[in-house]
């Protein structure tokens, strides 16, 4: 929780990994420093760090770290209420994570995508994807962190209020019942 101290230590580590040219540790550090910087409210610096991580990971073919940077950058844009850009980045993250077979990462990207889709005025699709990702979290045994649990409950309540109980239940049930491939197609806008 001490993001200022974490950022300070990560900046030091970043200088070292650049010096020894260790791209694996460099990209991990860039992503983690971007998270800490974002939590401290320095969105511009976080954006630069995520973009550098994406550039480095793409150049060396580290798709896992690339998908993390995409996800983080998308969350940053969602923080700034730039939902259309967040949707675009999350869809790319979902595509990469699906290709890698990263089920847990995919579920987190789906969760973030559902919130950004709501932000661009697509509550029915957001509800389907949120239902699907909750099912995936349950199947994987992933527990929503306490810090974000209230946010998720509020989001689901907002979806229900916007759609009404009947439509919400129908869309939620659809999200809970569809197969993986269909969830990914739906998330990528191909369904």
pLDDT in tens, 12-50: 999 999 999 999 899 999 999 999 999 999 999 999 999
Length of the chain: 191
Q: Is the pLDDT of residue 191 over 70?
A: no
**Structure token digits, residue 43:** 């969105």
Angle at 144 between CA 139 and CA 147, to 5 degrees: 175
pLDDT of res. 81: 96
pLDDT of res. 145: 74
Query: On the CB side of 119, how many CA atoms lie within 13 Å of its CA?
Result: 20
pLDDT of res. 174: 96
pLDDT of res. 82: 97
Q: Is the pLDDT of residue 161 over 70?
A: yes
pLDDT of res. 142: 87
pLDDT of res. 124: 97
Global pTM reads 0.90
pLDDT of res. 13: 95
Per-residue HEC secondary structure of the chain comes to CCHHHHHHHHHHHHHHHHHHCCHHHHHHHHHHHHHHHHHCCCHHHHHHHHHHHHHHHHHHCCHHHHHHHHHHHHHHHHHCCCHHHHHHHHHHHHHHHHHHCCHHHHHHHHHHHHHHHHHCCCHHHHHHHHHHHHHHHHHHCCCCCHHHHHHHHHHHHHHHHHHCHHHHHHHHHHHHHCCHHHHHHHHCCCC
pLDDT in tens, 74-130: 999 999 999 999 999 999 999 999 999 999 999 999 999 999 999 999 999 999 999
d(CA 71, CA 101) in angstroms, rounded, equals 16
């Amino acid at each position: 929780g001490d993001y200022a101290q974490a950022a300070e230590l990560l900046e030091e580590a970043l200088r070292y990994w650049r010096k020894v040219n260790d791209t694996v540790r460099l990209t991990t550090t860039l992503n983690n420093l971007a998270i800490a910087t974002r939590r401290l409210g320095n969105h511009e610096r976080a954006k630069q760090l995520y973009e550098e991580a994406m550039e480095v990971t793409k150049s060396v073919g580290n798709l896992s770290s690339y998908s993390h940077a995409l996800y983080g950058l998308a969350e940053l844009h969602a923080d700034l209420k730039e939902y259309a850009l967040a949707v675009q980045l999350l869809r790319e993250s979902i595509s990469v994570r699906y290709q890698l077979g990263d089920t847990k990462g995919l579920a987190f990207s789906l969760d973030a995508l559902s919130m950004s889709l709501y932000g661009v005025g697509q509550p029915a699709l957001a509800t389907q994807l949120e239902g699907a990702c909750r099912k995936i979290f349950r199947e994987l045994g992933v527990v929503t962190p306490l810090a974000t649990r209230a946010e998720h409950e509020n989001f689901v309540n907002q979806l229900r209020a916007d759609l009404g109980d009947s439509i919400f239940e129908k869309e939620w049930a659809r999200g809970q019942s569809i197969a993986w491939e269909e969830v990914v197609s739906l998330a990528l806008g191909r369904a």
